[in-house]
Amino acid sequence: MTDLGMTATRDQLRVIDVDTHLTEPHDLWSSRAPAAYADRLPRVADVDGRPHWILDGEPLGAASSSGVVRPDGSKAMGTDFFTWTIDDIHPAAYDMEARVELMDQLNVHAQIIYPNLAGFGSQKFGQIEDVELKRLCVSVYNDAMAEIQDNSGERLFPMGLIPWWDIEGSLAEAERIVGLGLRGIVMCSDPQLRGLPDLGEEPWRPLWEFCCDHELPVNFHIGASESSMGWFGTSPWPSQGDDQKLAIGSAMMYLTNARVLANLIFSGVLERHPTLKIVSVESGIGWIPFVLESLDYQMDQLRTDVQAQFSLRPSDYFRRQMFGCYWFEDVAPEVLINQLGPDCVLFETDFPHPTCLYPYGLDQATNALSAVDDDVARKVLQDNAAELYKIAV
């Protein structure tokens, strides 16, 4: 770890980065597809001279780089990366051997990995009409993620996708995820947009119970539904330039997890499942104290019979069962960690996305934690994530 006046104790930490992304290799699905689905599962082909992901014979979108770090290690700024392909990005984005090598250079012990192509909540796969095809999109991805984890020597920990459009199928895939050894699931925040019960309703109870029984964290990444990704696009005024739209949309999307947090609390999900662990991924932590304070206030305004349904205040549910992740914030970690609870804060870099802390992630982390006690820094940078995701340190 870079020497920034930290004690020897902090220099010995095995830092866990809880939010990174995979630029999916072009053969991730095609190399593992059942023969009958070899041409239907996601694959890459040229469309008008540029590589595109093809799903069931139709273009799904450009096969982009999904990142901003060049092969030489320099970082693109603004929208320069918009036209990049996988050939234009650092190998650590898609080659997991190169990822581990880069982690060694950056003094990062382990990383949690999230998808790109599927959407951050697997919402894109939910739009597929063919039931078996979209199930295979998820299960083949999870098989590939288990291979990555096994081959990494306990350094890389991809989160498993579930087929949220099928509640029984979600439970079955969660069981398979545990069998594969994956350490958490990626959840779509708004299944009701596709005609399913929302996450606070009774049909989801078996999944929450399973996650509790198997200590499987439920991860809500920002942009984990069609509506939250829409917020990214509609937040900027139309007259803004592309770079400004990227900046505004990114900043506003962090706040979309406020409604997820609020709904999980007021739906009674956390009351009914007191050991369920929820992670708000890539959302920052600076907004969380205000939202919790406002939810506490609003609970006080409820009728007494409604209040009686809850044994804790919203802020106490958060401290008992939820986690927030910081990366670029300077002020919030130092000022707010004790307010949120030092057991509830995790560190991330978002590699290799536009807002990633590359290559100075640990400098940022240690500077932001310069005023907290060593035991608190240890929890935030190492122990909280190690316990939550069962990572040996």
- The predicted structure's pLDDT at residue 168: 98
Residue 219 in this model has a pLDDT that exceeds 50: yes
**Which carries the bigger pLDDT value, residue 34 or residue 8?**
34
- The predicted structure's pLDDT at residue 227: 81
Q: Which residue has the tokens 């459009």?
A: 165
- The predicted structure's pLDDT at residue 2: 37
- Taking residues 3-15, report their average pLDDT: 65
Full-model pTM: 0.95
Q: CA 232 to CA 353: how far, in whole Å? A: 15
Q: CA 320 to CA 292: how far, in whole Å? A: 13
What single DSSP character describes residue 379? Answer: I
Chain centre distance of CA 33? 25
Residue 280 in this model has a pLDDT that exceeds 50: yes
For 27-103, list the strands marked E by DSSP.
43-47, 50-55, 58-62
- Taking residues 212-236, report their average pLDDT: 89
- The predicted structure's pLDDT at residue 335: 87
- Taking residues 273-286, report their average pLDDT: 97
Question: pLDDT digit string (tens) for 136-170?
Answer: 999 999 999 999 999 999 999 999 999 999 999 99
Which segment of 63-77, 150-164, 324-338 scores lowest on mean pLDDT? Answer: 324-338
- Taking residues 71-78, report their average pLDDT: 95
Q: 344: how many CB neighbours lie within 10 A of its CB? A: 22
Type of residue at 60: L
Q: Among 111, 146, 84, 99, which Cα is nearest to 350's? A: 111
Question: pLDDT digit string (tens) for 17-33?
Answer: 999 999 999 999 999 99
**Domains of the chain with bracketed CATH:** 8-28+91-389 (3.20.20.140)
| DSSP string computed for 109-149 | -EEEEE-STT-TTSTTGGG-S-HHHHHHHHHHHHHHHHHHH
- The predicted structure's pLDDT at residue 324: 98
- Please count the residues of the chain: 393
- Taking residues 197-225, report their average pLDDT: 97
Are the C-beta atoms of 344 and 352 separated by less than 8 Å?
A: no
Question: pLDDT digit string (tens) for 369-393?
Answer: 998 999 999 999 999 999 999 999 9
- Percentage of residues of the chain with pLDDT beyond 90: 86
- The predicted structure's pLDDT at residue 102: 97
Mean pLDDT of the chain: 94
- The predicted structure's pLDDT at residue 361: 87
Residue 5 in this model has a pLDDT that exceeds 60: no
Q: Which residue has the tokens 């940022």?
A: 364
- The predicted structure's pLDDT at residue 140: 98
If pLDDT is split at 50, 70 and 90, which confidence band does 9 have? Answer: low
